[in-house]
Structure 1
Amino acid sequence: MIIAFQQLYKGRIALDKIQTDDEIRQVISSELKDEFTHPRARLSVVKKYQLAIQRIQASNLNNEDKKALLSIYKEEYLKVSTGNDV
């Protein structure tokens, strides 16, 4: 899963250091919250989720990796959008 995630976001140096699935989830949560963007330019959680889904679907990853990443993104999206742990 880690390799698939790193392939999805090639070129992001910070992702080269990821070693666990929990770290992937933390990055996904931050990405969905758009924490790396200036507050005035942030996109909604829904929009960030849609963009992530499109990126995964358009990627060259195999179907198994795509399904796994889509599942993790969905779980993290539900956590972020409801404020609850699922």
Structure 2
Amino acid sequence: MIGSYRKLWPQRASAENITTQEELEKYILIELNDELTHPRVRKSKQQKLELALERIEQSDLSESEKYGLAALYKRLAAEKE
């Protein structure tokens, strides 16, 4: 999944630093919680999940990579509700 995430976000320097599944999940949670955005303009977790799933679907990833990443995003979003 780390390689798939890097392909999805090629311009993110932080994606290149991910070496473990735990780090990958941490970065996805940061994204879903919109933690890098000013609090007044943050989107909800559901909005961020929808945007991520749309990006995954429109990407050039293989179908199995898309399925795996989408499932990971959905699992993490559901666990941290």
TM-score by length of 2: 0.96
What residue is the counterpart of 1:67 in the other structure? 67
How large is the RMSD of aligned CA atoms in angstroms? 0.7
CA deviation vs aligned residue, 1:36-64 (integer Å, no higher than 9, x gap): 00000100011000000000000000001
CA deviation vs aligned residue, 1:17-76 (integer Å, no higher than 9, x gap): 100111111011111100000000100011000000000000000001111101100111
Gaps of 5+ in 1: 82-86
**Displacement, 1:80?**
2.3
- Give % identity: 36
Gaps of 5+ in 2: none
Query: Does the CA contact (< 8 Å) of 1:49 and 1:77 recur in 2?
Result: yes
What residue is the counterpart of 2:17 in the other structure? 17
What residue is the counterpart of 1:84 in the other structure? none
Moved over 4 A (4+): none
What residue is the counterpart of 2:80 in the other structure? 80
